[in-house]
Amino acid sequence: MKHRIKTDTEVKFSESDILLSTTDLQSFITYANDEFCKIAGYTLDEMEGKPHNLVRHSDMPKLAFADLWTHLKNGQSWMGPVKNRCKNGNYYWVNAFVTPIKDKSGRTVEFQSVRTKQSDDVVQRATAEYAKINDNQKSHATAAKFDATLYISALLLISFLGSLAGVFSSRFDIFNCLLVLLLASANGLMYFWRQKYLALISKAKQVYDNPLMAYLYSGTNDLSGFLNLALEMQQAKLKAVVGRVNDVTMGVNQNAQQCAESGHNVTELLNKQTDEVSQIVVATEQMTASINELSSSTKKSNQAAEKSNQATEEGSLAVKQTINSISELDKKLKTASSQLENLIEGNQHIVAILSEINAIADQTNLLALNAAIEAARAGDHGRGFAVVAGEVRALASRTQQSTEEINNVLNQLTHASKEAQVAMKDGLNLSAKSVELAHQSGDSLDHIKAQSIKLSELNSIIAHAMNEQLTASQVIATNLTAAQDFAHKCTELGHTSQQLCEALLSKVTEQTALINQFK
């Protein structure tokens, strides 16, 4: 093992502290409790998987660990004062109890080391003896064991033999006889008691036969040290059992606390889940109602679309009829326009004729005037001719006046006809635009009809989807109701689990208090 720093600073800990660790069969650390990690100055991660000599101090003799491994390989426990090294070089003394842990088949599966506070007198003797062993000096423990009972028995036997010799060498003395009887009884009792004592020492050695440890724990070299060592060994076993159970109990306590907290959290989460599921159920019911309303609205929309489609068809038919009527009107307007043009042409022809008539009337009037002049020159012979000439002039004037009136009427009629012709042209233009707009309206109605058909088809698809969604929402509602019931059951189970964890925690607390009575 490479050289590591060490200091002269001792780390103390209380008598209630139990430093526990376990190793595999190759002495690699598999577990260390919090107290051990705290005193040693290592974290559990730093210790796990490391060889156990990580905490070995250089002042510890190899002989002690050789004895340790001899006991462990023989399936026996080992106890002794051990000086360990901290991570920072400080040291601490422990009363180490190391034992093999076996499975149900009796096979050793790990080694357990339980360390408690070592008394100062044992530490002093161990310091001195370990130093002697390291210096290859003779230890007190290697000297012959002193048996006080043997010396007492020998003294009593010598006294008995001396008294007996005195009785035979002198006159009879009742006092000497009583003394001989007393010494004989004492020798008998001493022999009987010594046999019991030796049997007790033998049993003590069966518990733990280690002369070095017997001296270190008792401070004496007589056989009574084995009795003290056996008692220390049994006490160490009890502390080891209590320590391991306490360590496991602490773990169970932590798990029980975590279980209780987890149960409480699970209960809260399940309560929240139940509330959320209830809200989802309500929302699903509302969604189902909305789907029903939407389905109803879709049906109404489909009906409206069908009515719209029917109205569109009627509108399209009306537009077609309008187009036909406008086309007929257009034809009639064109015919009327043509007739007006003919009328205007006739009027113009009449005007031309009237102009000729008016010219003839002017000529007639002029001729009548000339005839009147000539009749006047003829005197009485020309009076009859003058009268005729006057009548002709009057007729020519009336003809001229009538032609003017007819001309005025024809001018008015021509003007009205031209205005009517302009109006008819405007009507024809409007008729053409109306026809075009009617065609556009027809196209729009056809488009609306097509869209109405698509809308009707889409409404049918939506209605079908709504029915499927309604069915799905009803299934979801049923499943959510089942989930809600399951959540209620889980909440009850979570509450029961929490109560059981709390009860377990209470029992563990009682067990911990009971274990503390044996520390």
- Please state, in angstroms and as integers, the Cα–Cα distance from residue 287 to each residue in 259, 279, 295, 300, 464, following that order: 39, 12, 12, 19, 17
My answer on whether 447 and 489 are in the same domain is: yes
The mean pLDDT values, 10 residues at a time, for the chain of 519 residues are 75 93 95 95 95 94 92 92 96 96 91 94 94 78 51 51 50 54 56 65 80 87 78 80 73 71 72 73 73 71 70 71 72 72 74 77 75 73 69 73 76 72 71 71 70 72 72 73 72 72 68 54
Q: Minimal CA–CA distance to 316: which of 444, 413, 414, 415?
A: 444
My answer on whether 296 and 173 are in the same domain is: no
d(CA 187, CA 155): 9
My answer on whether 60 and 164 are in the same domain is: no
Q: Which of the 8 DSSP states describes residue 222?
A: B
Residue 146's region, left for phi above 0, alpha for psi from -120 to 50, else beta, is beta
My answer on whether 315 and 334 are in the same domain is: yes
My answer on whether 299 and 401 are in the same domain is: yes
Query: 253 lies in a domain?
Result: no
Backbone angles phi, psi at 144, to 5 degrees: -65, 135
Query: 122 lies in a domain?
Result: yes
d(CA 63, CA 42): 26
My answer on whether 63 and 193 are in the same domain is: no
- Helix ranges (H only) for 26-173 are 34-40, 44-47, 62-73, 120-134, 148-169
Query: 54 lies in a domain?
Result: yes
My answer on whether 148 and 192 are in the same domain is: yes
My answer on whether 210 and 272 are in the same domain is: no
My answer on whether 414 and 310 are in the same domain is: yes
**489-498 long-range Cβ contacts below 8 angstroms, 24+ apart:** 490/270, 490/273, 491/267, 491/270, 491/271, 491/274, 494/263, 494/266, 494/267, 494/270, 495/263, 495/267, 497/259, 497/263, 497/266, 498/260, 498/263, 498/264, 498/266, 498/267
Query: 250 lies in a domain?
Result: no
Q: Which domain holds residue 461?
A: 260-513
Could you give the strand order of the β-sheet that contains 19-23, starting from the edge strand earlier in sequence?
Answer: 29-32, 19-23, 108-117, 91-102, 78-85
- What pLDDT is stored for residue 181 in this prediction? 56
| Number of domains observed in the structure of the chain | 3
**63-72 long-range Cβ contacts below 8 angstroms, 24+ apart:** 63/133, 64/130, 64/133, 64/212, 67/210, 67/212, 68/98, 71/98, 72/98, 72/100, 72/111
d(CA 85, CA 52): 11
Cβ within 8 Å of residue 281, ≥6 positions away: 477, 480, 481, 484
My answer on whether 217 and 276 are in the same domain is: no
* CATH number of the domain bearing residue 440: 1.10.287.950
- What pLDDT is stored for residue 399 in this prediction? 75
- What pLDDT is stored for residue 129 in this prediction? 92
My answer on whether 48 and 148 are in the same domain is: no
My answer on whether 127 and 146 are in the same domain is: no
Query: 112 lies in a domain?
Result: yes
HSE (side-chain half, CA atoms, 13 Å) at 406: 18
